[in-house]
A and B are shown apart, each in its own frame.
Chain A
Amino acid sequence: MSLVRNPFKTATLTIIWGWLILLVLAPTLLVVLVSLMPESTGQLNFSDLSPAVLWQGFLSNYGQLISPVYIGVFGHSLWIGLITTVICLVLGYPFAWMISRASPRLQPLLLLLVIIPFWTNSLIRIYALRTLIATRGLLNDVLMSLGLIDAPLRLLYTEEAVIVGLVYMLLPFMILPLYAVFEQLSRATLEAARDLGANGAASFRHIVLPLTMPGIIAGVLLVFLPAMGMFYVSDLLGGSRHPLIGNIIKGQFLEANNWSFGSAISVMLTMIMAFLLLAYYRSVKLFKREATL
């Protein structure tokens, strides 16, 4: 087929490769390079880079990463991400199962209701949440008029508010992959398990959990990875006291003007991501093999 000259093919491939190399590959490598440069202040200076200079930059930038101050901040951010992910999983798992067991007529509607928030502007959703939980917001009004509390609670600018915000933003990303695996889980499999004498707990442990594991892992990744970067959620709901990794990177670039250190943090974040994705592939392969045995 390709023995004939095909100008359309050549042009198409040139555009695609050009675009992706210039706008995906080059910037990614550039961030790695910047992370090795000695402290740079907004202006990138590539003129006097030598291996020795880069080595010095590497030591100082990545050395700063493992200083106790930043380890504490990263730990806190990872912790918030972890709690968010666990809450999403606990809320989303039964929910996805229930949707998959709803009547076929109802299912598209229920799914649409899950997808609508995904299509709504995320900033506006956070703003709406903020309006609701503000000190003189609706939630406090309701609680006070019900006589449950005497004085308004301070809900905004707390760690809990950031977690609630992240769960609110990311819950659909947990539900959708879980729904996809539950939909494929056939009733026949479960009935077979019951006929063979498995009780509810046993069939969950040995059948449902392994078969839905790829969905669980996909959902966990889709929640955990974005949660690290959504700086506007912690800005608007947590004030400045509960930063996520995203807030720290943003601060290094737009306020402290230390691009090298900001890049080093990003490289680390990307490595965590890559590691998790790798673990995902390994586990999916593993579970597929187990399922076919």
Chain B
Amino acid sequence: MSLRNAVSLRMFSRCYMTLIFTLLYVPILVLIGISFNDSRNPFAWGGFSLRWYDKLLGNSNLMEAAVNTLWLGVTAATLATLIGTLTATALHRYRFRGKPLLNGMLFTVMMMPDIVMAIAFLALFIALGIQLGYFSLLVAHATFCLPFVVITVYSRLSGINPQLLEAARDLGASESRAVWHVLVPALLPAIASGWLLSFTLSLDDVVISTFVTGPTFEVLPLRIYSMVRLGLKPEVNALATLLLGLSLCLLVVSQLLIKEKK
């Protein structure tokens, strides 16, 4: 390749990457801009203002849904992390019957379209006579987050020296003590990033929540969904900006955790 060709290729690369990133980010950045705009017309700049944030705090429906969503996210992520970590440990450490089936089920959860999983949960809860609400959401969210925790933790487990655990056992620790005192501390970054990923997935979910939610427990995505369908609401922009900030913080934390792993 001649020098001139190489230079023009590099120029083209730069332009192309800038274009794609622009397309990915313009909508989000515009939304953030609008949320600080004093004017009711979103695209006429009326000066910097926090009035929509003020209005958001005054919208008790929206705030209640936000609290519900955060609580659901925290509890579902914790449950998924707990079971996911146990699953990864078992898959890594034990030999047992039906391992391919277990792997297959985890893979199914990951690849199955959300909508199919959603109706499966709905049918199950109705068949068992379980009231739709916080509990059904918790169980469903924990389940669809589970494989992501398993993958995150499992990949870290393969980097741990198995003799550490054997040494603890030889020194007289019971299996549960050995796991808790030796394995868990070594796995902590992976466990934490699995939790963060689960929390994000739970906050993001629209499809499954639509089906397994009940009238007693309203979550934020569904509240936003019904508001947005009716038209543009300035306080939703403020809320969106806050949520973006939150996800960005979580992402940075999880990236730092991954770095630490290496």
CB distance from B224 to the nearest CB of A (A): 6
Given the complex, which residues of A lie within 8 Å of B94, measured CB to CB?
2, 9, 12-13
Q: Is B126 an interface residue (CB 8 A)?
A: yes
- A137 — which chain B residues lie within 8 A by C-beta? 43
Q: Are A128 and B30 in contact (CB under 8 A)?
A: yes
Interface of chain A, main secondary structure:
helix
Residues in chain B near residue A283, CB distance under 8 A: none
Is A275 in the interface zone, CB < 8 Å from B?
no
Answer yes or no: B135 CB below 8 A from chain A CBs: no
Q: Which of B50-58, B104-112, B151-159 is found at the contact surface with chain A?
A: B104-112
Q: Is the CB of A125 within 8 A of B119?
A: no
Task: Say whether B83 faces chain A, with CB atoms less than 8 Å apart.
Answer: yes
Smallest distance from the beta carbon of B55 to chain A beta carbons, Å? 17
Cα(A91)–Cα(B17), bound, Å: 10
B171 at interface, CB cutoff 8 A: no
Interface stretch among A23-31, A64-72, A178-186, A284-292?
Answer: A23-31
Residues in chain A near residue B23, CB distance under 8 A: 168
Residues of the B chain whose Cβ atoms lie less than 8 Å from the Cβ of A13: 90, 94, 96
B115 close to A124 (CB less than 8 A): no
Chain B residues near A99 (CB-CB < 8 A): 17
Q: In the complex, what residue of chain A is closest to B232 when comparing beta carbons? A: A131
How far is it, in angstroms, between the C-alpha of A94 and the C-alpha of B14 when the chains are bound?
12
> With an 8 A cutoff between CB atoms, is A157 at the interface?
no
User: Interface residues of A toward B: which range?
Assistant: 35 or more
| Most B CB within 10 A of own CB, among A15, A119, A250 | A119
* B98, B229, B240 interface centre (most CB from chain A within 10 Å): B240
Contact of B115 among A23, A44, A266 (CB under 8 A): A266
Query: Are the CB atoms of B83 and A15 closer together than 8 Å?
Result: yes
A209 close to chain B: CB less than 8 A: no
Contacts of A44 in B (CB 8 A): 123, 126-127
Instruction: List, in ascending order, chain A residues with CB within 8 A of B3's CB.
Output: none
State whether A123 touches B224 (Cβ < 8 A): yes
Partner of A273, one of B106, B111, B210: B111
In the complex, residue of chain B having the shortest beta-carbon distance to the beta carbon of A259: B123
* B6 → chain A closest CB, angstroms: 11
CA gap between A269 and B236 in the complex, in Å: 34
- Docked CA distance A48–B169 (Å): 55
Closest partner residue, chain B, to A172 (CB atom): B24
Most buried by A among B43, B87, B116: B116
Stretch touching chain A among B59-67, B184-192, B247-255: B247-255
A-B contact count (CB 8 A): 214
How far in angstroms is the closest Cβ of chain B from A260? 11
Across the interface, do B250 and A8 meet the contact criterion of CB distance under 8 Å? no
B122 at interface, CB cutoff 8 A: yes
B206 touches A253 (CB 8 A): no
Q: From residue 118 to 140 of chain B, which have CB atoms closer than 8 A to chain A?
A: 119-124, 126-127, 139-140
Q: Check: A47 CB closer than 8 A to any chain B CB.
A: no
Q: B31 contacts A131, CB within 8 Å?
A: yes
Known: A20-B105, A131-B27, A171-B24. A250 touches B210 (CB 8 A): yes
Closest to A116 in B: B251
| Residue from B113, B127, B143 within 8 A of A23 (CB atoms) | B143
- B21, B26, B174, B237: which contacts A8 (Cβ < 8 A)? B174
Provided the pairs A9-B90, A121-B203 are in contact, do residues A225 and B119 lie with their beta carbons within 8 angstroms? no
Query: Which residue of B has the minimal Cβ distance to A232?
Result: B206
Residues 251-270 of chain A, each 1 if its beta carbon lies under 8 Å from chain B, else 0: 00110000100110010011
Contact A24 B143, CB 8 Å, known A13-B96, A253-B211, A259-B123: yes
Q: Are B89 and A12 in contact (CB under 8 A)?
A: yes
Q: Supply 23 A–B pairs (Cβ within 8 Å), ascending by A.
A: A8-B174, A9-B175, A12-B89, A12-B94, A31-B119, A95-B16, A95-B20, A112-B251, A117-B24, A119-B247, A120-B247, A128-B31, A131-B27, A131-B237, A134-B232, A168-B27, A229-B113, A229-B116, A232-B206, A246-B207, A253-B119, A266-B115, A277-B111
- Apart from A20-B106, A24-B108, A124-B28, list 11 A-B contacts with CB within 8 A: A7-B175, A8-B175, A8-B176, A12-B86, A98-B16, A101-B13, A123-B221, A129-B27, A131-B34, A172-B24, A269-B115
